[in-house]
Amino acid sequence: MNGNIPAREITPRETFLSRRRLLQTLGIGASVAATGGVYAWLADPGPSPYRTSGRGPREGDGGGAAVSMADTLTPPETFTHYNNYYEFSTDKRDPALLAAGFKPRPWSVTVDGRVAKPRTLDLDQLLSLAPAEERVYRHRCVEGWSMVIPWLGFPLAALLKAAEPLAGAKFVAFTSLLDPARMPGQKSSVLRWPYVEGLRMDEAMHPLTLLSHGAYGEALLPQNGAPLHLVIPWKYGFKGAKAIVRITLVDTQPATTWNLYSPADYGFYSNVNPSITRPRFSQRFEDRLGETVDRRPTLAFNGYAEQVADLYRGMDLAKDY
Amino acid sequence: MTTARYARLLVQINGAVPVALLTFAAWRDRLGYNPSAYLLRTSGLLALIFLLLSLCVTPLRRITGRNFFSLFRRTLGLYAFFYACLHVLMYLWLDQGFDLLNVPADVWRRKFILLGMLAFLLLIPLAATSTAGMVKRLGAVRWKRLHQLVYVAAAAGVIHYALRAKVLETQPMLFVVAAGVLLGFRAVWGIGGASHSRKSAGRVG
């Protein structure tokens, strides 16, 4: 077959070898680009916020003050783009996208159960119950990250008092919106919907317990639980129901969503407690988002022990976690 | 350079691409909103991916009838071990603050970490005996039997990942299914069992 190829057309050995090397080099480059592309798709970290040069609390900082000197406000885009909100998605980056069209108005909230004045309020009636206050709270997620958030809202106690609780009211049960058409995550049964939460009456009436309708000086965004998000700063974040539609005063401890899902991990009380390790979570340290990687030791009651420890006097918090 | 050496070089270079990009992202402070969680998750994910890739070698060899893929197995396995080391280091640093005295209690109480640690510890003897010299010293049959531990490590690794999630999530389940298919393949084809043919002794599935 090769008999009719003239000798002058045979590729010289040197050219052949250098071509081979060129192709091999190109092959390496192409494969590295492909691997890099697959990796970038698989391990996309999403946007990264600017960081403050915060530091962890040191010996002697104390933790009693509502906000200590070591607390710097979390960048607002972290607050609005890193959301645990399973009604929309289990991926924390998704609620900001999926909740974009969610309209928190019109909205009404029913207050019922063991109260003298059960009623249903629309949002404007509810907001006129008490003046909005700004409260800067540490926010601690059970997963181990924390933020510092300037909430707007008023004490839940103002709403409860207006409904005139009866003697039999021992607990408060919160129910979040059930509407799979507006909350696509509810089409999946990762949790039992609607989301339900609860507090003991004295916890609900505590002056730190805030019914929030805003943050960073603006109305709450849908991905942050608009229009109403309960904030209990000494408890893990999941205790704070979002998009609340019903508040019922009851005489027995109500069922709560994460406790139903995994009682060993999520207790009814779920006070922030560095000394209790559950199967999924060690709570000794926390990551303050927006800071450089710098573990802070977790504070008992999230640093609000001075204000709330009395609520739990005489209880075994290792048992009632 | 022969085709075989070139192919192995390709795998060696590409295995380093993720850690290079991860280091670059860390240096630029582009690790997302929660850098600790991102570093832990990404390093663990890479360890599992390379472990499962190394388990693809034998099925590919069986299906294509070509031994070519065996060239990559050691490299892929060593990268799995490398990323597992990185993952454990991230856990000790970011989760435990290098409080090593607390680590045994933490590993024991959080069962998903116990499984992950088991997977990691099983990879250590495999990495230590990965050289041709060690195959000779142990003898092919014993070496092969030892390296069957990789099946246990892979199963423990993917279950570790699935249990870590707060709820049933898609990605960990995909890893469990992939590991199930790769290990199931061996069960069905009798690879790694005592009845394995002599011809490929020393080439553990």
Beta bridge partners of A229: A212
- pLDDT of residue A181 exceeding 90, the answer is yes
d(CA B50, CA A54): 36
What is the C-alpha to C-alpha distance for residues A285 and A296, in angstroms, rounded to an integer?
5
Position B1 scores a pLDDT of 67
Instruction: Give B173's contacts in chain A (Cβ within 8 Å).
Output: none
User: Alpha helices of B72-148 — where are they, by DSSP H?
Assistant: 73-90, 103-109, 111-128, 132-138, 140-147
Determine phi and psi for A154, rounding to 5 degrees: -140, 160
Separation CA B138–CA B22 (nearest Å) = 37
Structure tokens at A132: 């909005």
pLDDT tens for the 205 residues of chain B, in order: 688 889 899 999 999 999 999 999 999 989 999 999 999 999 999 999 999 999 999 999 988 888 888 889 999 999 999 999 999 999 999 999 899 999 999 999 999 999 999 999 999 999 999 999 999 999 999 999 999 999 999 999 999 999 999 998 899 999 999 999 999 999 888 765 544 444 444 444 4
| Alpha-carbon distances, residue B149 vs A78, B17, B119, B126, B153 (angstroms) | 43, 27, 9, 8, 6
Q: What residues of B are in contact with residue A284 (Cβ under 8 Å)?
A: 97, 99, 102
CB contact under 8 A, A190 and B167: yes
**Residue type at position A243:** A
ipTM associated with this complex: 0.88
Residue B183's closest CA among B40, B54, B86, B42?
B54
- Which residues of chain B neighbour A282 with C-beta distances below 8 Å? 95-96, 106, 109-110
Q: Do residues B94 and B39 lie in contact, with contact meaning Cβ atoms separated by under 8 Å?
A: yes
Q: What is the pLDDT of residues A216-269, one digit of tens each?
A: 999 999 999 999 999 999 999 999 999 999 999 999 999 999 999 999 999 999
Q: Which residues contact B106 (CB under 8 A, 6 or more apart)?
A: A277, A282, B95, B96, B113
Measured in angstroms, the CA of B88 and the nearest CA of chain A are apart by 16
Q: How many Cβ atoms are within 10 Å of B123's Cβ, its own excluded?
A: 24
Interface touch B33/A287, C-beta < 8 Å = no
Residue type, B160: H
CB atoms within 10 A of CB A307: 17
| Residue A298 · residue A283 · CB < 8 Å | yes
Q: Is the peptide bond before A254 cis (omega within 30 degrees of 0)?
A: no
At A9 the pLDDT is: 82
Whether the CB of B13 is below 8 Å from some CB of chain A: the reply is: yes
d(CA B205, CA B200): 10
* pLDDT given at position B197: 45
Q: What angle do CA A45, A46, A52 make, to 5 degrees?
A: 90
Closest residue to B106, CB basis, from A32, A282, A287: A282
Beta carbons of A191 and A87 less than 8 angstroms apart: no
A134 has pLDDT over 70: yes
Of B1, B18, B168, Cβ closest to residue A190: B168
pLDDT in tens, A9-56: 888 888 877 888 899 999 999 999 999 999 999 999 988 876 654 444
Q: What percentage of chain A exceeds 90 in pLDDT? A: 78
Instruction: State residue A51's pLDDT score.
Output: 60
The answer to whether the CB atoms of B110 and A282 lie below 8 A apart is yes
Element containing residue A79 per DSSP (H, E): helix A76-81
Pick left, alpha or beta for residue A54 (phi over 0 → left; psi -120 to 50 → alpha; otherwise beta): beta
In contact, A174 and A241? CB cutoff 8 Å: yes
Q: Is the dihedral of CA B169, B174, B175, B177 positive or negative?
A: positive
Beta-carbon separation of A282 and B22 below 8 A: no
Q: Taking an 8 Å Cβ-Cβ cutoff, which residues of chain A contact chain B?
A: 24, 27-28, 31-32, 35-36, 39-40, 42-43, 45-49, 51, 78, 81-82, 86, 90, 92, 143-145, 190-191, 261, 265, 277, 279-282, 284-285, 287, 289, 293, 295
The predicted structure's pLDDT at residue B194: 45
> In the β-sheet with A108-113, what is the strand arrangement from edge to edge?
A119-122, A108-113, A244-250, A171-176, A196-200
Q: Mutate which of B2, B34, B45, B94 to disrupt the A interface (most A C-beta within 10 Å)? A: B34
- The residue written with tokens 């005295």 in the block is B101
Confidence of residue A1 (pLDDT cuts 50, 70, 90): low
Q: In which residue are the tokens 């030791």 written?
A: A297
CA A214 to CA A229: how far, in whole Å?
A: 9
CA-angle at A229, arms to A227 and A235, nearest 5° = 175
For A27, A135, B6, B11, B84, the CA distances from B72, given in Å and listed in that order, are: 17, 58, 11, 7, 18
CA distance A108 to chain B (A): 30
Q: Read off the pLDDT of residues A257-303 as tens digits, 9 standing for 90 and up.
A: 999 999 999 999 999 999 988 888 889 899 999 876 567 899 999 99
- Under 8 Å CB-to-CB from B81, ≥6 apart: which residues? B47, B123, B124, B126, B127
Query: Does position A4 have pLDDT exceeding 80, yes or no?
Result: no
pLDDT of residue A211: 98
Identify the pLDDT of residue A270: 97
Q: CB of B173 within 8 Å of any CB in chain A?
A: no
The 8-class DSSP code of residue A238 comes to G
Token duo for residue B70: 């065996």
- The span from the CA of B57 to the CA of B69, in Å, is 6
